Homo-oligomer: A and B are copies of this chain.
């Protein structure tokens, strides 16, 4: 039995799900919460899942990182729009030889975390998970759940599979969380963007599900062309995504049940969009290597526009006390 203890920073649909699984498997998990703190402190967590529902009546809930025990593995499961909070949260929470596992979308969040805790203490993880928060402490897991782990090193240098990855993977496997290992975190991140950039972006701007984007010949062309730009972005970082990857992603999406992307869910719920992590950072990384991604840039700037409009409307609604 592992004696590693865990912290979950951001106990939402993703952090809550994985944290609950780890605790259920007998590990010590400390949950950092904000709005749901009181509720979860009293009632614990409920997870509904096709793999079996379960309840954790008691969890170690905190609303202040300084009051939490230091942990071996600190899982960052916040939306990237909240990353400005990390410099205050992470340092007191991490054991001297501990690691931060960044389970976030997009590109370049690991370097941000590395600036706070040091590159040698950062591991990246890509989640393929469909889950949502029904209410405080109540998570509904719909489908998938695999995490791809990858060791981070300065400038995303690929350093293969480390002991630390094996240790974390062991704990996750015990919690019935499927784990893959990546020898090259940056390549894995770009590969995930091949899906995330076109579908997340177009679904928000065009108010469309994945099946609608696939069925229309024009949006299908846009999806393919933007996937091609992501491949070009990866190449600008010397990461080669194989030629058959785009056709695979298209076929995979064609076979999926109609899906509302995570960014579309955020938009519909009036939450801030992860525009910089998923769009802005890849564009800037490619640009620094002299490569323009003009079609992704259109999507990026359109998303920033609708994000600002939506957040302003939301602020007005709150000021007026409307719901």
Contacts and interface: CB of A to CB of B under 8 A. Distances in A.
Contacts of A219: 301-302, 305
Contacts of A216: 304-305, 308
**Interface SS of chain A:** helix
Interface in A271-323: 294-295, 297-302, 304-306, 308-309
Interface string A27-57: 0000000000000000000000000000000
Nearest to A297: B295
Copies of this chain, count? 2
A221 interface: yes
Contact of A302 (B206, B225, B297, B306): B206
How many A residues are at the interface, by size bracket?
Answer: 20 to 34
A244 to B, nearest CB: 24
A222 B309 CA distance: 16
Given A205-B205, A294-B295, A221 B302 contact: no
A53 B206 CA distance: 41
The 3 closest A-B pairs by CB, nearest first: A218-B301, A218-B304, A298-B298
